[in-house]
């Protein structure tokens, strides 16, 4: 069974909370999206993923397979990220995100 890339949960006040998995955080470090945190737009810069295993398990890569995602505990995921101005924000406070690129 594959986990959803993004899980949206409803809170008591009717505000949705976004829950990010390892793949989301890894992709955010690459694409650097614009995030809304506490009604302020900031640009994602980086999230420290150094204490997690590689995104793809190197023992599962072959000539015909790109490999399987590494196993991790949700508790090991980081709770904060840095924006491009050097400020630290809680990942749980993100209410919206969009691409930083114009198409």
Two tokens, residue 58:
């190197």
Q: What pLDDT, on the 0 to 100 scale, is given for residue 14?
A: 59
Each residue of 49-77: pLDDT tens digit? Answer: 999 999 999 899 988 989 899 899 999 99
In a domain, 70, yes or no: yes
Task: Report which of residues 49 and 101 the model is more confident about.
Answer: 49
Using DSSP, state whether 88 is helix, strand or coil. Answer: strand
Paired tokens of 91: 């990942």
Is residue 50 included in any domain, yes or no? yes
pTM across the whole model: 0.77
Q: Would you put residue 32 in left (φ > 0), alpha (ψ -120 to 50) or beta?
A: left
Distance CA 89, CA 5 (A): 21
Number of domains forming the structure of the chain: 1
Instruction: Tell me which residue range forms the domain holding 70.
Output: 6-98
Asked if residue 103 belongs to a domain, the reply is no
Q: State yes or no: pLDDT of 1 exceeds 60.
A: no
């Amino acid at each position: 069974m594959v986990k959803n890339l993004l899980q949206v949960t409803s809170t008591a006040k009717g505000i949705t909370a976004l829950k990010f998995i390892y793949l989301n955080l890894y992709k955010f470090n690459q694409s650097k999206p614009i995030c809304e945190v506490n009604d302020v737009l900031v640009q994602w810069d980086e999230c420290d993923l150094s204490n997690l295993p590689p995104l793809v398990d190197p023992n599962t890569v072959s000539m015909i397979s790109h490999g399987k995602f590494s196993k991790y505990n949700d508790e090991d995921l980081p709770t904060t990220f840095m924006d491009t101005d050097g400020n630290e924000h809680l990942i749980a406070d993100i209410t919206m995100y969009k691409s930083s690129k114009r198409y």
